[in-house]
Every structure is written in structure tokens, then in C-alpha cells.
Amino acid sequence: MDSFLTLIQVLDSTVRLATPLLLACLAGLYSERAGIFDIGLEGKMLMAAFFSAAVAAVTGSVWLGLLAGIAASLVLSALHGLASITFRGNQLISGVAINFLAAGLTVLIAQDWFQQGGRTPSLFAGGRFEPITFPFAETLSGVPIIGPIYSELLSGHSILVYVAFLMVPATWWVLFRTRFGLRLRAVGENPAAVDTAGVSVVGLRYAAVAICGVLCGIAGAYLATGLQAGFVKDMTAGRGFIALAALIFAKWRPWHAMWACLLFGLLQAVALRFQNIDLGGIVIPVQAMDALPYILTVVILAGFVGKAIPPKAGGEPYIKER
């Protein structure tokens, strides 16, 4: 029974740690399906994490913090859109620039506002997303097997965790069951055909980049106000890049993206839970465990998971034929 409870606790951590990855992964999915490659997921999450924590610390309202995080992320999205859609710049360089901008600005502003060495004050009740307890979670917790799954694993997360997982079917429905989704996918595959049909390529791509900004904003806000209690320097810790790897692993499909993010979340949860694992006399150091998600990222990007074919027009600025 103890091992079952340990498993539930690890899976509970997996869900929490997979949430920011999943939101960032879906953000990248919208953007890349429309033909805009976004290396700047990391920077947008970082900027959103800082502003959500800063505003929540100052106002004491986590909801205002969430809005500030989304707004900060949208500003960077607009910048990326401007560079890569309007001015037809290199999308990868624009994304990298956003990452550098966010890494520097967050620490600079945090130091100026709070004088705490580039971090925000710790957030207390009201400034953080509180866990939501499902009805009868306490009553059912004693029931074998089902009880712990319901009360520990499904219940007791913050609202953004449920939002993230509900976004998966929502994204699938939008992309594959609506006219907007069809056009969005078409813009990533063959923008000229969409243009010929009289639909604005630029408008659709900006819409995709804006959706990406909102989701990155929620991911960043969750990091600083749900997963942790405040902002610290570089707190995204490469999650934006792991989300990109999960997206490629999932071959740009929403349901597969969820499982890929859960896999990365599981590796992070295992690293946190089991420090120094002893395998038949060989002790695996905690650093090796911490490195697992990043090693898997490299393995995936090296192409060990089969060929992942990105949207055809991805990374190419669309130039309207005269």
C-alpha cells in the first residue's frame, strides 16, 4: 500500500510539473501550425512569471497577477509577430532575441522594484492559486485504490492545472473541427492557397501568435503563482525548450502533446522524489536524475523518435505575389 501511495504522490507531482510544459507546448502548437516557429516560448513564460508574481505581490490578487502575466506575454508575442510576420524577419532569431530580452529584463525590473536580488517577495494566501478540493474528496480518501486516486491525484490542484488539461480537447476541437482551425492549418501548409481564397494570411498568423501569447502567459503565471510562491531568476529553467521538444515528439498533435508533456513531467517528478537512487550497488547521483528531462530532449531532437515533419510553410515569411 505504501508503494501505491508513493506512486500516487509521484503522479500528483507529474501532473503539477507537466502543467507549464503542456500550456507552453499547446502555445507552440498554435503558432507553428500557422507557420510561425517560436523559439521564444521560454522568454514569454519567464516574462509572464515575473509580472504575475510582481503584480500579485503588490496587489495581493492572484487574478490581477494572471492578467498581468498574460499581458506581458502578449507584448512579447506582438513583438515576435511584428518581426516575423510584418517585417518578414528570421523567426528563429526573433525568438532567441525574446529569450535574451526576458532573461535580462525580469531580473533588472525585479531588482529595481523589490531590491531582493532579482526575485519578488514570497506570495501568501490571495497572491497564490489555492488548491481546489473536489466534493467528497475527504470522505472517499479512505476507500482503497479509488480513494487516493480521486482525493490525491485528481483533486487538490489549482485551477490552472485543470485549465491546462481542458485546453487539450479544446485545442483539438478548434484545430480539427472548426473553420478557423482549418484555415490556421492551411496557412502553415500552403499560405498562397489561403490567400487565393481571400482569407488574410497575416491576420490568421497574428491570431495564432496571440493565442500562443495567452497560453504562454498562463504557463508563466502558473509557475510563479501556482507551482511556486514568487518569482526567482531564470525560474523557467529551460521549460520552453522542453515544451518545443515535446511538440516535435508529438508531431504537432494536441493529444500526443499531452502525453509527451506528462512523460517529461514524470521524469522531473522522479528526479525530485528519488534523490540518489541505488541500483544494485551503483548509486545514481541526483544530478544525473535532474538531467534526465534535458537528456530526453536532446534524444528526441536528434531524431530518435522517427521523422517529425513540421508544417510545410513553417519558418518562411509569406510574400504576397503581385
Q: With beta carbons less than 8 A apart as the criterion, state whether 211 and 36 touch.
A: no
Does the 2-301 domain belong in CATH 1.20.1070?
no
Cα 79 to Cα 82: distance, rounded to the nearest angstrom: 5
Cα 221 to Cα 127: distance, rounded to the nearest angstrom: 11
Q: What is the mean pLDDT of residues 243-267?
A: 92
Share of the chain above pLDDT 90, in %: 60
Nearest Cα residue to 127 out of 231, 23, 215 = 231
Q: Could you tell me the residue ranges of all domains in the chain?
A: 2-301
Share of the chain above pLDDT 70, in %: 98
Among positive and negative, which fits the CA dihedral 173, 176, 177, 181? positive
Q: pLDDT tens for residues 163-197?
A: 999 999 999 999 999 999 999 999 999 999 999 99
Cα 26 to Cα 255: distance, rounded to the nearest angstrom: 10
Phi, psi of 307 (to 5 degrees): -80, 125
Q: pLDDT tens for residues 260-284?
A: 999 999 988 988 887 777 777 788 8
Q: Which residue type, as a one-letter code, is found at position 299? A: V
Report helix, strand or coil for 47.
helix
Q: With beta carbons less than 8 A apart as the criterion, state whether 143 and 3 touch.
A: no
Nine-digit cell string for 188: 502553415
Task: Give the global pTM.
Answer: 0.94
Q: Which residue type, as a one-letter code, is found at position 169? A: P
